[in-house]
Chain A
Amino acid sequence: MTYHADEKGYYGEFGGAFIPEMLYPNTEELRQNYIRIMQDPSFGKEFDQLLKDYVGRPTPLYFAERLSGKFNTKIYLKREDLCHTGAHKVNNTIGQILMAKKLGKNRIIAETGAGQHGVATATVCALMGIECVVYMGEIDIARQAPNVARMKMLGAEVRPALSGSRTLKDATNEAIRDWINNPVDTHYIIGSVVGPHPYPDMVARFQSVISKEIRWQLMEKEGRENPDYIVACVGGGSNAAGAYYHYLDNGDVGIIAVEAAGKGVHSGESAATSALGKVGIIHGSKTLLMQTPDGQITEPYSISAGLDYPGVGPMHSHLFKSGRGEFISITDDEAMAAGLMVSKLEGIIPAIETSHAFAILEHRPFRSEDVVVINLSGRGDKDLSTYIDHFKL
């Protein structure tokens, strides 16, 4: 039994490539080449070098002493918040920009919701001097102004997605349409472990640097490679996929996935895909997604823009369905309180996405001897105005 993708991009019953024929040549070119390119030593060398010198890897694995004391267990934080641009997203965009170069592409497109992936993409495009167009829902453009400005400073063009609900899922549709219209010179840098095969597997591999580092870092600190649990928040699922990656097939390591319950799982305003979703097709992947009984994709809600996606990557659907992963959903209020708690106890202001992962500590008891690694996927600078509004700071 493996929890990795098979060669057709399936994780159990989930995944695959449900794409219109117009996209077939694009994804086929990628499918035929991505593993070969990633395994090429010169590619690996360049990727590792950039992660080290530009992104600032390895990111620390930090023993959170006061947090551990409060919850009477051993908590380590994997500090992806210290990556350049402030989140794990850049691990993937560095990998994909190098991939695009190898494939001879000279134009990059991306989708973004909160703007984190858009910024990470605009950053690597600036680094490589490649044209960059980022699609962003018209509604998100209005509520994420600082990230729009950052992308513009980095030289990217931000194009509003005006269709449908004018948020992340529609920005993704627009990026896919752009790719249909520009099949030869353009590479689409998807921002999470979603979309048609080979994207979920490719993005997971680029993010797997997270668990690769955790293994040796934990060995240094605890004399063991395996934590008892690894905890991550799940929007599309990329930081979680990276944190779980080297432990997926290792039953000694418990996998905990944290989703956004918004105002409550059954409030009608939620993004808890595993709880509310049904199997279907979204953005070319067969996976769990939130939809009407008629199969129309619905708009999720979370206070955290990065968790506000109506689907989830096929790897995570499989982890959920098979029982390999433990899925917990956390409300807006619980996440915000956890963000404040971590700020005060550890001097780290987490992204609101990540605050969801911390919030499980209030619900989910661990034994005192357990080693629990929480993937600190991003920092909270981008969320200050939300924290300010919430706590009247």
Chain B
Amino acid sequence: MNRINKKLQEDRKLLSIYFTAGYPSLDDTSRIIQELEENGVDMIEIGMPFSDPLADGPTIQQSSTAALQNGMTTALLFEQLKDIRKSVSIPLILMGYFNPMFQYGVEAFCKKCQEIGIDGIIVPDLPLDVFKDDYEATFKKYGLVNVFLITPQTSEERIRQIDATSDAFVYMVSSASVTGSKEGFGNIQTDYFERIASMGLKNPQIVGFGISNATTFQAATKNAKGAIIGSAFIKHLARNGVDAIGEFVKSIRA
């Protein structure tokens, strides 16, 4: 069984952390991953920097620009990750925009992910219908799960289609926003979290966007299986460095 599916069966709320590969320094990738695992994080999204991250707010934009300036590329990231499974056993997900993957070659990309021991991929701008028509078979062939996003605006019919095509979890974007924009959740989020929870989807849900501390983590995971923190982690990393990762994780799990 895929590591993600196994993890989702554990009887606890999952904490997933997103970071941008190549930031703060080009060679931080494996250390960040190891620190996150050692400090009890359940799952990691390794962000592949892109020049034009149109679903991301300023924090992830800036980390992406810096990572590219540092010299990060798809090939280099694969090189940095090639021995990662010798030291890390939690699920690893690659998250990035479609163009760099398309240039690498989707099949070659998936093959490389399998060799390394990547468990899943999130491509925000690869739409459901294109995935199904052109790439689903390739993802399956290399044992990769694909994760789709839903938002408060996503229709029930489409949520059901997404649920049917997913085989790990559904990524619930907490509000109509790019990453890192909202502080705290209001009634709209609570209603949305409850509405989705009551739909009886076959896949568990993990909430992302707008989770920055213990309070928002708890609110998000009241109904959902877990939550993903990105911008708040990157800000912490920028301010306090890789050595202080444990401190950040503890502040969330407190």
Contact = CB atoms under 8 A, between A and B. Distances in A.
Interface stretch (A87-95, A118-126, A288-296, A317-325): A288-296
Interface string B103-126: 110000000000000000000111
Q: Which 4 interchain pairs have the tightest Cβ spacing?
A: A295-B103, A295-B100, A20-B124, A21-B149
Contacts of B102: 279-281, 295
B99 A282 contact: yes
Interface stretch (B68-76, B84-92, B246-254): B68-76
Contacts of A283: 52, 54
A281 B149 contact: no
Interface residues of A, number: 35
A360 interface: no
B53 to A, nearest CB: 8
Interface string B14-54: 00000000000000000000000000000000000011111
Contact of A281 (B74, B75, B98, B151): B98
Interface of B: 50-58, 61-62, 65, 68, 73-75, 97-104, 124-127, 130, 148-151, 153-155, 158, 173, 176-178, 181
B65 A181 contact: no
B54 A20 contact: yes
Contact of B65 (A20, A163, A184, A278): A163
A210 B53 CA distance: 35
B51, B176, B177: residue with the most chain A Cβ atoms closer than 10 Å: B51
Interface of A: 16-22, 24-25, 163-164, 169-170, 173, 176-177, 180-184, 278-284, 291, 293-298
Contacts of B155: 25
Given A177-B178, A181-B176, A297-B99, A18 B130 contact: yes
B142 to A, nearest CB: 20
Contact of B51 (A19, A25, A164): A164
9 contacts: A20-B54, A21-B148, A21-B154, A22-B177, A22-B178, A25-B153, A281-B98, A283-B52, A295-B102
Contacts of A295: 50, 74, 99-104
A207 to B, nearest CB: 25
B163 to A, nearest CB: 13
Contact of A169 (B52, B101, B126): B52
A184 B50 CA distance: 28
Given A21-B150, A183-B153, A293 B103 contact: yes
Contacts of B56: 177
A18 B155 CA distance: 19
Nearest to B50: A296
A177 to B, nearest CB: 5
Contacts of A282: 52, 99
Contacts of A291: 99, 103
A181 B177 contact: yes
Given A22-B55, A22-B149, A281 B99 contact: yes
